[in-house]
Amino acid sequence: MAKKIVVIGAVALGPKVACRLRRLDPEAQITLIDRDDLISYGGCGIPYYVGGDINDLEDLYKTTSHALRDETFFREIKGVEVLTCVEAIAIDRKNHQVLIQELGSGTTRQLDYDKLVLATGARAIRPPFPGADLPGVLTVSNLHDAEQIKLLMTQGKIGNAVVIGGGAIGLEISEALTDLWGIETTLIEMEDQVLPTLLGKCIARAVATELRRNGVNLMLAERVMKINGHARAKGLEVHTTSGIMPTDVVILAAGVKPNTDLAAKAGIALGRSGGILVDRRLRTNDPDIYAGGDCIELRNLVSGENSLMALGSLANRQGRVIATNLSGGSSHFTGTVGTFCVKVFDIGVCKAGLTYRQAKETGYDPVYSVVAQPDHAHFYPNAEFIYVSLVADRKTRKILGIEAAGRHGDGVKARVDTVAVMLKNGIDVDEVCCLETGYAPPFASAMDVINNAGNSLDNILAGMNRPIDAADFLVEFSRHARRVLDIRGELEARPFVEKFGSRWVNVPQRELRTRYPEIPADEPLFVICDTGSRSYEAQVFLHTKGITDTLHIQGGYAMIKVTDPEF
């Protein structure tokens, strides 16, 4: 007899499970249900629809060959039944039934299943401050939200906006509002950096600079206390720790929360992070119920801890695994290393693994390098700077994380992905030094930035390279901690010598081997060059001459420029 499969949720994982299962099992009776009328869409495309890169909402639920992915499409082409505007109310695990309700008519009925798949996704968090549910306070979690925001834009009624939350969605939406619509956008983040769960402070500063460069009013370490509606006028008032901000619209991008009510009510086990708990076959504690996508929690394969990771890419890969297992095969999904990327105006930002802070919290003794280098051969005309930070454990030399940013987004992705795929099975610093990636001048340097990030870390671990990062340097220098030895050419150094006087000493690298006696041997110094490779070399040289208390600035002036362009 044909197996009855019911899939609850039809956005990313659900349709993937259904379509692959249909190919694997032509007999199975597959029913896909969703409470929405729009299904099987690219939710990650919403900011690009709002921002005008994508004109037509339908593009987000069309296939590559321009077919609309609606109920008819699934029935006629995929051989899968879809029920939309239908909510799953309860799971009767004993009798293998799901109680569903048609949202229009309110009619309820039971659906039998042999195997059930939970693909209930996640929803936007509404933070607990007063006013978070006022009209005009919007979220960005489905196509209806997207339509509503875009409608406001196209009506031209929005002059300014406040986005709450400096995670990926907050950044993407801020870009969408500013870039196409020219809306004065304030982005509020309560941590002291953007993308706090994704990036360490060095790359985060580069991202913040890109946001500000493009006109986003970025407020960090700022907390929203409440939102008031104007009694008479249209618009809202956002009250924060530092003041009151009138605005036409507020967009909440404070993260998402897995939809687990249905599962929890049925006694399906949840994990500590609040997502549904699954094994490597993506089965819940009920062997007839699978779950995947944004509603489950996943093992982080670097930290070993379970966490939430709401990503359409993981959902799709998991969907394939579930379908294979449903049809009697054996396929595993072991977890995630947290690979992530986001476009922020003109730069691509990617990461995998743990940030320095997360590594510390996990119990490692982390150490990191920061490297700034052209992404293509420096003599090749289209080369752009790429900034890479690599985190490793001091004792084991194991790589814990990588972050990068740069103007050629695909190239940033190339660097991070290569380390990301190795994190699962473990990779140490020495392997990064020799990592064999594609080389030709239009694509990379002979010693690529990724190798140099490893080389730098190797030298730091060996004690030869004693660094300070640009962000820490800016703080320390403003505290008059040390003088700076600038080994760049006279031309590059002059503005700084003029600005900082005797606190900024210029000895060009070419003269260092003869002029080093000018430097007092016991003076603590910062050493700077343009990208950090020559300042390291100078540090090593000075050390052999007894000038030992030096810190060289990782990524050099290139990194300072994207950390604080005003410096």
Scanning residues 500 to 559, which ones bind a second copy (CB under 8 A)?
509-510, 512-513, 529-531, 533-534, 537, 540-541, 544
The token duo for 452 is: 């140099």
Query: Can residue 114 be called a binding residue for a second copy (CB under 8 A)?
Result: no
- Of 464 and 475, which CB lies nearer to a second copy in the complex structure? 464
DSSP label of 76: I
- Of 324 and 563, which CB lies nearer to a second copy in the complex structure? 324
CB of residue 316 to a second copy, shortest distance in Å:
4
Scanning residues 303 to 332, which ones bind a second copy (CB under 8 A)?
311-317, 320-321, 331-332
- Of 20 and 35, which CB lies nearer to a second copy in the complex structure? 20
10 Å CB burial of residue 544 (0-12, 13-18, 19+) is exposed
Tokens 């509002």 locate to 177
Q: What does the alpha-carbon distance between residue 228 and residue 247 come to, in Å, rounded to a whole number?
A: 10
DSSP label of 3: P
Scanning residues 242 to 271, which ones bind a second copy (CB under 8 A)?
none
Tell me which of 9, 14, 42, 467 binds a second copy, using CB under 8 A. 42
- Of 270 and 342, which CB lies nearer to a second copy in the complex structure? 342
Specify the stretch interacting with a second copy by CB under 8 A; choose among 40-48, 180-188, 253-261, 520-528.
40-48
CB of residue 457 to a second copy, shortest distance in Å:
13
Q: Give the residue among 319, 289, 285, 292 at the shortest CA–CA distance from 92.
A: 289
Contact 468, 552 (CB under 8 A): yes
- Quote the Cα angle for 377-380-381, to 5°: 140
Count the Cβ atoms, other than its own, within 10 Å of residue 394.
12
Contact code string over 140-179 relative to a second copy, x by CB under 8 A: ----------------------------x-----------
- Of 64 and 478, which CB lies nearer to a second copy in the complex structure? 64
Scanning residues 450 to 489, which ones bind a second copy (CB under 8 A)?
451, 455, 464, 488-489
Specify the stretch interacting with a second copy by CB under 8 A; choose among 1-9, 43-51, 87-95, 284-292.
43-51
Specify the stretch interacting with a second copy by CB under 8 A; choose among 178-186, 212-220, 266-274, 440-448.
440-448
CB of residue 277 to a second copy, shortest distance in Å:
19
- What is each CA distance from 134 to 130, 229, 430, in whole angstroms? 9, 7, 54
Tell me which of 68, 89, 225, 421 binds a second copy, using CB under 8 A. 421
Scanning residues 366 to 395, which ones bind a second copy (CB under 8 A)?
373-375, 377-381
Contact code string over 63-82 relative to a second copy, x by CB under 8 A: xxx-x--------xx-x---
CB of residue 86 to a second copy, shortest distance in Å:
24
Quote the crossing angle between the two packed helices 449-461 and 533-544, to the nearest 10°.
30
**420 SS3 class:** helix
Residue 90 phi, psi dihedral angles, 5° rounding: -160, 150
Query: Can residue 18 be called a binding residue for a second copy (CB under 8 A)?
Result: no
Specify the stretch interacting with a second copy by CB under 8 A; choose among 56-64, 136-144, 197-205, 214-222.
56-64
Specify the stretch interacting with a second copy by CB under 8 A; choose among 130-138, 155-163, 236-244, 338-346.
338-346
* DSSP letters for 297-350: EEEBTTT--EEE---HHHHHHHHHHHHHHHTT-------B---EEEEETTEEEE
Beta strands (DSSP E) in 359-506 are 366-374, 385-393, 399-406, 467-468, 483-486, 504-506
Tell me which of 225, 244, 447, 475 binds a second copy, using CB under 8 A. 447
Number of residues that bind a second copy (CB under 8 A): 101
CB of residue 390 to a second copy, shortest distance in Å:
14
Tell me which of 342, 390, 449, 453 binds a second copy, using CB under 8 A. 342
Tell me which of 30, 350, 484, 562 binds a second copy, using CB under 8 A. 350
Q: Give the residue among 409, 326, 336, 393 at the shortest CA–CA distance from 359.
A: 393
Tell me which of 215, 255, 274, 441 binds a second copy, using CB under 8 A. 441
Query: Can residue 214 be called a binding residue for a second copy (CB under 8 A)?
Result: no
- Of 165 and 411, which CB lies nearer to a second copy in the complex structure? 411
Residue 190 phi, psi dihedral angles, 5° rounding: -80, -25
> What spatial distance separates the first Cα and last Cα of the chain, rounded to whole Å?
73
- Of 129 and 443, which CB lies nearer to a second copy in the complex structure? 443
Q: What amino acid is encoded at 343 in this protein?
A: K
Scanning residues 82 to 111, which ones bind a second copy (CB under 8 A)?
none
- Of 247 and 459, which CB lies nearer to a second copy in the complex structure? 459
**141 SS3 class:** coil
**361 SS3 class:** helix
CB of residue 311 to a second copy, shortest distance in Å:
6
CB of residue 541 to a second copy, shortest distance in Å:
7
Render the burial of 191-224: b for 16+ CB within 10 Å, e for the rest: eebbbbebbbbbbbbbbbbbbeeeebbbbbebeb
- Of 79 and 215, which CB lies nearer to a second copy in the complex structure? 79
- Of 10 and 444, which CB lies nearer to a second copy in the complex structure? 444
Residues whose CB is less than 8 angstroms from the CB of residue 150 and which lie 6 or more positions away in sequence, other chains included:
49, 50, 57
